[in-house]
């Protein structure tokens, strides 16, 4: 497994500046295509109006198909906001509370004092499952062999119960990004609702919002007639383009696993703007900074990073990725502005460069 896989789930820090005076979003994108080789889809909404919507590059190196604006990309950790929404929907229905212990839902869970809120805020102290599974899951097989594929979250949870890796810190003591936490949240949502995670999200979020091209995808290595617009990940190497789409953990859900499009994610943004799914009080909780045990605030709400940009604009955002996919959604809530970036060519420099320059422009 590549060392970068844990990193690519995280929001990436970006520490450089640029001069954007008299520059348009189209100019920025064209420059990144020219200098960085950007391959993906982009949409920018500013003050409620579409100012850029574009697809550039290929969707499948084996066929050479071009991307179109309704191509379906793997979201990586941008999926986490949907997992958090699933939990808040159950909370609104009185099916669970944030303060409940994980052991109430997973009795053999080997750690004490970890609550749903800890999982949502990444303050649980739970070690990431990625390295655990790489080291202990069917290592006699190669990573891309179907015999090594996990069947889903239960395989991860059982391995955690079996191996009980050391907890990193006492729950609530620190903040550390945890994919494990969101896998557990998806499993909790299944056990509370009595439905599979994909069915629950489809019934409670995707279908009501008209997100017809969004799903918790049941991964297939080959082309899938049920998802004809699906995009495949790849990467550039000295020997040409090679596939970067298959991983034995592709069936994990909650921390990733969702596929979607620009238009569906725009519908998602508007549903949050118009508060279509949950109570107003619960929506406010999603975009409120969490706290540590000592009262210190963290810059993460429920499935979203929380920030405040120049001119006191309220913003929320998240990046994500897995195998060849790099994604980002940034919402300037104050101005009803959003940009979404979806890529499939393993190029993090392209995503980071666009994010930084778009941020400067959208909040100016």
Catalytic residue annotation = 77
Q: Compute the distance between CA of residue 299 and CA of residue 288 in angstroms, rounded to an integer.
A: 9
Dihedral sign from CA coordinates of 253, 255, 261, 263? positive
For residue 142, give both structure tokens: 């190669």
Report residue 130 as tokens: 């990625």
Closest CA to 186 of 259, 125, 102: 102
Report residue 172: phi and psi, to 5°: 90, -5
Instruction: Report the DSSP beta bridge partners of residue 308.
Output: 314
Angle subtended at Cα 230 by Cα 325 and Cα 241, rounded to the nearest 5 degrees: 50
**Residue given tokens 């655990």 in the structure block:** 132
Residues 307, 9, 56, CA angle at the centre, nearest 5°? 90
245: number of Cβ within 10 Å: 23
Task: Look at the alpha carbons of 229, 232, 235, 238 in this order and tell me if their dihedral is positive or negative.
Answer: negative
Kind plus residue range of the DSSP H or E element containing 149: none
Distance CA(175)–CA(171), nearest Å, equals 9
């Amino acid at each position: 497994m590549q060392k970068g896989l844990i990193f690519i789930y995280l929001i990436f820090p970006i520490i450089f500046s640029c001069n954007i005076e008299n520059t348009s979003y189209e100019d920025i994108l064209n420059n990144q295509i020219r200098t960085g080789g950007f391959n993906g889809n982009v949409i920018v909404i500013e003050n409620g109006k579409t100012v850029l919507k574009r697809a550039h590059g290929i969707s499948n190196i084996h066929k050479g198909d071009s991307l179109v604006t309704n191509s379906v990309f793997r979201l990586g950790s941008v999926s986490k906001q949907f997992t958090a929404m699933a939990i808040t929907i159950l909370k609104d229905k009185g099916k669970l509370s944030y303060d409940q212990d994980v052991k109430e839902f997973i009795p053999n869970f080997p750690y004490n004092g970890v609550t749903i809120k800890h999982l949502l805020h990444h303050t649980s102290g739970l070690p990431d499952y990625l390295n655990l599974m790489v080291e202990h899951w069917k290592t006699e097989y190669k990573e891309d062999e179907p015999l090594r594929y996990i069947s889903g979250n239960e395989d991860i949870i059982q391995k955690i119960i079996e191996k009980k890796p050391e907890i990193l810190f006492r729950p609530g003591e620190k903040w550390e990004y945890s994919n494990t936490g969101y896998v557990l949240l998806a499993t909790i949502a299944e056990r509370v609702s009595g439905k599979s995670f994909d069915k629950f999200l489809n019934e409670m979020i995707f279908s009501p919002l008209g997100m017809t091209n969004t799903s918790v995808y049941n991964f297939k290595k080959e082309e899938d007639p049920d998802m004809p617009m699906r995009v495949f990940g790849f990467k550039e190497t000295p020997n040409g383009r090679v596939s970067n789409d298959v991983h034995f953990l592709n069936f994990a859900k909650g921390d990733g696993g969702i596929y979607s499009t620009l238009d569906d994610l725009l519908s998602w943004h508007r549903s949050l703007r118009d508060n279509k799914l949950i109570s107003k009080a619960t929506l406010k909780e999603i975009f409120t900074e969490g706290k540590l045990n000592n009262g210190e605030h963290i810059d993460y709400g429920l499935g979203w990073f929380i920030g405040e940009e120049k001119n006191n604009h309220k913003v929320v955002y998240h990046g994500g990725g897995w195998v060849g996919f790099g994604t980002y959604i940034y919402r300037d809530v104050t101005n009803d502005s959003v940009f979404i970036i979806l890529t499939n060519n393993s190029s993090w420099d392209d995503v980071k460069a666009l994010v930084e320059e778009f941020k400067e422009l959208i909040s100016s």
